[in-house]
Amino acid sequence: MKKLIAVIFVFCCFSNAYSQSHLLPDVPEGAQAVSLFGKSLTMPAPSQKLLDNLAAAKAKYDVDPDNADNIIWYGRRVAYTGDFRRAILIFSEGIRKHPTDARMYRHRGHRYITIREFDRAIEDFEIAVSLIKGEQDKIEPDGAPNPAGIPVTSTHSNIYYHLGLAYYLKHDFENSLRVYKMGRDLNLNDDNTASTTHWIYMNLRRLGRDVEAKAALDYVDADMNIIEVHNYHKLDMFYKGEVPEEEVLNADPNIPAGASITYGVANWFLYNGDEERAYDLMEKFIKTNSWGSFGFIAAEVDLKMRK
């Protein structure tokens, strides 16, 4: 651990000398990112509620800009307004000030995924995994609380979830599978089990390990106490044959929850041999405006690798 801290310290000192261009890829003016097909990706103007939340977080940050929680919430609120690049700079500041706080790497890695910087995301999350070894896990407060107002994720589960996603987006299914199993084995709650099982199943199917994929679904059932990830639970039940195809095909890909279902169904068509239907669904999917959703990004990767 001491060696890791020393390496991070040197890295952060070096990074402090970097200009903004070293932390962020070049993009056309006004864009947040560039798609894998070269399209400029922009965000609509944020709502007044998002701006008000950001103003409150910024006020706390201004009072104490060295406080780790203030930095994290300032960065998160900036990201919620759609300014992912600025959020990355804020979390980078947090890393310089708190180089052993895994949360900084977790949040920066998340936004590197959003702007299609998958290798940088993996680097951040792997550092975060090293930092949480032997550390007590903590429930992570939600920036956009679910209707029940009960947070269902933790620092550790979010690190594993997003690292697994980053590996999946690189089509490194073995590493993605390994990490999602680590997340599932936290035994955090039914929501965590449902979401990780979905990704474990997809990785196993992509690897052609169909018997293991079917066995992985034994972790989920219709009576689970799902608070938030109803989308993943529905997909799990679809994979088990307990939810009809027409029900999952009715999902709205313009919202994050619907985007995840749409991608899950397209992927299901793909590894069941119906490539035409799978890629047709992905093509329609990426014409939506939900380019920041994980389902959209995954579909974009699959289409790019196909061409």
Cβ atoms of residues 192 and 152 within 8 Å: yes
Tokens encoding 116: 């299609």
At 67-114, the pLDDT tens digits run: 999 999 999 999 999 999 999 999 999 999 999 999 999 999 999 999
Work out the pLDDT band at 257, boundaries 50, 70, 90: confident
* Stated length of the chain: 307
- Please report where in the chains the tokens 């972790």 appear, as a residue: 219
**How many angstroms separate the Cα of 48 from the Cα of each of 53, 55, 59, 80?**
9, 10, 16, 12
Single-letter code of the amino acid located at 206: R
Task: State if pTM tops 0.85.
Answer: yes
Residue 177: pLDDT over 90: yes
- Please report where in the chains the tokens 């970097």 appear, as a residue: 18
What is the CATH superfamily name and number for domain 2-23+48-132? Tetratricopeptide repeat domain (1.25.40.10)
Ordered by start, the domain boundaries in the chain are 2-23+48-132, 244-307
Lowest mean pLDDT among 119-123, 178-182, 190-194, 253-257: 253-257
Tell which residue, 231, 159, 161, has the closest CA to residue 199: 161
- Please report where in the chains the tokens 């088990």 appear, as a residue: 240
At 119-158, the pLDDT tens digits run: 999 999 999 999 999 999 999 999 989 999 999 999 999 9
Tokens encoding 290: 């939900």
